[in-house]
Amino acid sequence: MAEILSSPLFGIALSIAAFKVGLWVNQKIRNPIANPLIIAMTIVVATLTIFKIPYDYFEQGASFIVMFLAPVTAVLALTVYRQRSILRSAFLPIVIGTFAGSLAAMGSVLFLSRILGLNDAVVASLIPKSVTTPVAIALAEQLGGLPALTIASTVITGLSGNLLAPAMIKVFAVKDPIAQGVGIGCCSHALGTTKAMEIGDVQGAMSSISISLSALWTVVLVPLLF
């Protein structure tokens, strides 16, 4: 049994099976709260805890899945290409919008961290939470943060955007599809972008663009703010 659990195939198989269950539950319940990613993470954590399986066993396989994170993010460029005419017509608002979104995301972390008295390592781990995971981890390590905390905060941020984006659009009465996509991409990276794609093609394309621009703005602004 130990040989099976220590095999990279265990982590891969558990991740795929957990996500398939999440998709099935989501299709049956049809409720935003029944998010496939949340369900999958719950199943994985419960399995490792109940059967007392060392995390290192799971991580050996899960690390192979993580390798696909950057390529999958790059594939979002296809959606951008399909909506390139809209990008050309609204280029300046998108650039300014992503700048404002990145500044607000980092500024809110700094403001709340100072109020709560968090140390610099924690602040460095949280400040890049709204950009895509590979960029967030690289920035956190450069600033002396904790990669594990960065990953957790980035996932929570993305899931929050995925779950709350439709409601926030209604609450704040955001009518323009470009503004909807830019807002989602700025605050909740790739996980939010999957929801933007469900809302509409324009929203998905603008959210994909926002991921790249927000990452760029974050890299530029972090040394000035932190």
Q: What is the spatial distance between Cα 13 and Cα 18, in angstroms, rounded to a whole number?
A: 8
- Answer yes or no: are the C-beta atoms of 161 and 191 closer than 8 Å: yes
Question: What secondary structure does DSSP assign to 66-90, as a single string?
Answer: HTTHHHHHHHTHHHHHHTHHHHHHT
| pLDDT for the residue 43 | 92
Please write the tens of the pLDDT for every residue from 39-51: 888 898 899 899 8
Using the structure block, give the residue that is written with the tokens 């781990």: 125
What ranges do the domains of the chain cover?
2-67, 77-225
Q: What is the mean pLDDT of the chain?
A: 83
The answer to whether the CB of 169 falls within 8 A of the CB of 111 is no
**Distances from the Cα of 12 to the Cα of 4, 17, 19, 59, 90, angstroms:** 12, 9, 11, 9, 41
What confidence tens digit (pLDDT) does each residue in 133-144 have? 778 888 888 888
- Which tokens belong to 57? 């066993």
Helix (H), strand (E) at residue 165? helix 147-171
In contact, 212 and 186? CB cutoff 8 Å: no
**DSSP code for 30:** -
Residue 60 tokens, joined: 């050996």
Q: Tell me the pTM.
A: 0.75
pLDDT in tens, 186-212: 888 878 888 888 888 888 888 888 888
Q: Which two tokens stand for residue 200?
A: 């509409």
219 phi and psi angles, rounded to 5 deg: -60, -40
* pLDDT confidence bin for 169, thresholds 50/70/90: very high
